[in-house]
């Protein structure tokens, strides 16, 4: 028709369809994963919701898909100062009493673990991860090191020298699954064990997984 213009306003022309959705980058996925972990540490997401959204974030193809995962969360980090910045090196020296890193702790780029006869627990399920690799250089004697991992986190223990010790790796990564964090273990572990596991199920979740268990609400 005379006077009809294109959507861009550049004169006559056929109407254009919707623009394709913008593809997500690795950095886009990483930022979404960080926000989800912090939100879970602040109590805004349950562990089940966190697992579900992390899996969706790591496999998201577009920015719109990522935005939908954080639409009901505050856009500002709960950490003072806004952006979360990881330390290059964190050194832990301890004897006889337990060491724990749980909740929304910021994972460093490298961790030196120098401990004697104390259990160490590093829980990554709600940790703030700002890069794709963590090297843990160990000089650990006695007791156990427990690494609690979630979707997209894998542990490589093959650089670790063992003396009267062993590794129990309970993680089963899906073939071809995207990796958000690779943890590389190096150094020496003598006596005790290194245990890699997923978060423990609550009593309610264990009951629901039993054969013949009724769905919630029945």
Average pLDDT over residues 101-116: 89
Question: Which residue has tokens 């978060």?
Answer: 199
Query: Does 76 or 110 have the greater pLDDT score?
Result: 110
Look at residue 85 in the predicted model and tell me its pLDDT: 58
Domain that holds residue 68: 22-84
DSSP 76-136: S-SSTTSS----SEEEEEEESS-EEE-SSPBP-SEEEEEEES--EEEE-SS-B--SSEEEE
Average pLDDT over residues 90-117: 89
* 208 assigned to some structural domain: no
Do 145 and 126 share a domain, yes or no? yes
User: Of 75-89, 115-129, 142-156, 190-204, which range is least confident?
Assistant: 75-89
pLDDT at 208 over 50: no
Do 71 and 106 share a domain, yes or no? no
Whole-number mean pLDDT of the chain?
A: 79
Name the band, by pLDDT with cuts 50, 70 and 90, for residue 120.
Answer: very high
C-beta of residue 180 within 8 angstroms of C-beta of residue 134: no
Laid out side by side, the sheet with 89-95 consists of 89-95, 110-116, 133-141, 181-190, 153-163
Do 34 and 118 share a domain, yes or no? no
**Ranges 47-56, 81-90, 137-146, 191-200, most confident:** 137-146
Q: Which residues of 155-179 are buried (b: 16+ CB within 10 A; e: fewer)?
A: bebeebeeeebebeeeeeeeeeeee
Do 26 and 75 share a domain, yes or no? yes
Question: What is the number of domains present in the chain?
Answer: 2
Closest C-alpha among 133, 157, 125 to residue 53 = 125
Do 129 and 63 share a domain, yes or no? no
Q: The whole model's pTM is what?
A: 0.59
Average pLDDT over residues 192-198: 94
Do 102 and 168 share a domain, yes or no? yes
């Amino acid at each position: 028709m005379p006077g009809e213009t294109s959507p861009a306003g550049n004169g006559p022309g056929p109407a254009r369809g919707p623009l394709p959705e913008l593809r997500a980058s690795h950095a886009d996925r990483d930022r979404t994963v960080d926000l989800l972990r912090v939100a879970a540490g602040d109590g805004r997401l349950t562990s089940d919701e966190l697992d579900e959204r992390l899996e969706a974030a790591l496999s998201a193809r577009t920015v719109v898909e990522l935005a939908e995962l954080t639409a009901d969360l505050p856009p500002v980090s709960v950490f003072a100062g806004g952006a979360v910045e990881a330390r290059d090196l964190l050194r832990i020296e301890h004897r006889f009493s337990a060491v724990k890193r749980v909740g929304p702790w910021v994972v460093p780029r490298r961790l030196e673990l120098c401990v004697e006869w104390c259990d160490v627990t590093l829980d990554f399920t709600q940790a703030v991860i700002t890069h794709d690799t963590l090297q843990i250089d160990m000089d650990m004697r006695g007791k156990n090191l427990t690494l609690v991992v979630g979707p997209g986190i894998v542990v490589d223990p093959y650089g670790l020298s063992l003396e009267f010790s062993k590794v129990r790796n309970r993680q089963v990564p899906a073939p071809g699954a995207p990796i958000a964090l690779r943890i590389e273990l190096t150094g020496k572990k003598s006596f005790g064990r290194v245990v890699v596991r997923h978060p423990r199920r609550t009593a309610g979740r264990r009951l629901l997984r039993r054969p013949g268990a009724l769905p919630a609400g029945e």
